[in-house]
């Protein structure tokens, strides 16, 4: 199955990376790698992870602090990457 990123998702991942990098560049690289690698596994098992809080989405916890929100149709679309402490979807103004 094809995995694609909604334009918002890489921007969010970059923001997370930059924030962590200010305090710990090594940790920033680890999180970036973990998210990237986890997203690629969605091509093989897109329905493995829990149903999302927004209808039509699923959520994959990549790290205890980071969550990938995605949808599954004829392809997997990564919709967002966010910190688990966010009051998702309230803090995100999230729309599908």
Can you give the pLDDT of all 96 residues of the chain as single tens digits?
999 999 999 999 999 999 999 999 999 999 999 999 999 999 999 999 999 988 999 999 999 999 999 999 999 999 999 988 876 665 555 554
Phi, psi values for residue 61, rounded to 5°: -85, 115
Where do runs of H (alpha helix) occur along the chain? 8-23, 25-41
In the prediction, which pLDDT does 90 show? 52
State pTM to two decimals: 0.87
- The CATH fold of domain 3-83: YaeB-like fold (3.30.2310)
In the prediction, which pLDDT does 96 show? 46
In the prediction, which pLDDT does 84 show? 83
Cross-strand pairs, 83: 66
d(CA 96, CA 71): 9
Q: Which residue has the tokens 């090594």?
A: 26
What are the structural domain ranges in the chain?
3-83
Cross-strand pairs, 61: 67
């Amino acid at each position: 199955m094809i995995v694609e990123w909604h334009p918002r998702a890489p921007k969010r991942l970059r923001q997370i990376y930059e924030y962590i990098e200010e305090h710990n560049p090594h940790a920033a690289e680890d999180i970036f790698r973990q998210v990237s690698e986890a997203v690629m596994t969605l091509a093989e098992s897109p329905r493995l992870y829990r149903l999302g809080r927004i209808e039509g989405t699923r959520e994959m916890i990549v790290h205890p602090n980071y969550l990938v929100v995605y949808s599954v149709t004829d392809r997997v679309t990564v919709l967002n990457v966010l910190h688990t402490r966010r009051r998702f979807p309230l803090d995100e103004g999230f729309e599908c």
